[in-house]
Structure 1
Amino acid sequence: MGYDTAHKTDPASVVPEEWGGMWFLKDELETNELGFTILELETNELGFTILELEPDGKGKEHDETATGQEELYYVVSGEIEVDLTDREETVTLAEDDVLRLDPDEPRQIHNRGDERAKLVLVGAPL
């Protein structure tokens, strides 16, 4: 087969259900014997994640220094805040906003709003 497909809930969520959910789809879209995925990219280098956060939910604080991976956060619905922890700065993102982060930028995503937020997170090494 020349492509792969995945549903966001094929892998187990890494965020507790009461906060929403976070599904890493990179392993679900591994290249097949022909070397293609549904994205027509080798997912050995590209990370694709869906994150849903309930009000008061949060992701883990982290950076990607060890992987050298920059990340893009695209807000599908809702509003989130990204705390840039070393800077003591917060970036607010609403529906259709995008944020790009350098690998060494420590960050933590929060949903401090009143509705569930849904994001697509994409990462790849520089």
Structure 2
Amino acid sequence: MAPSDPELLTLTNEDERFYPLLGPLLARRTVHKALGGYAPFDDDGKTWIVARDPAGRTLGFVGLTPRATTKDLHVESLYVAPGERAALYTLLLRAAVRAADGRALHATAARARRDHFLAAGFTHIPFTEKFDKFTREATP
């Protein structure tokens, strides 16, 4: 990790650091707006990757939720704080791929995030005017 790269933490809502880092952002309207109008839920079983700066400020996050019927994971709640570099989206997605440990990944995300998903090895599937679906096949 380069000195300018953020620290990446992998957490669940059971981790004592979870609510101090993410709690202030989960119900914030600006975060919901950045996520296309959707709230990031702190569901049990969800894994979060959180990027933070050396001062401990949360710069962004992404969630991984197990799908009920398969071993696949759903990538959701990809967020980067306003004013932070756009490369954090790709950094978080690549961390999600590593955390998936070879499992297939699926996401529905704003079309504006397409290049970041592609850079992390996802396949793009057009969906609606503003949102697209993304998949990344399981790897051995």
TM-score (norm 2): 0.35
Structure with greater proportional strand content? 1
- Structure with higher RCO (Cα < 8 A, 6+ apart): 1
Q: Radius of gyration: which is bigger?
A: 1
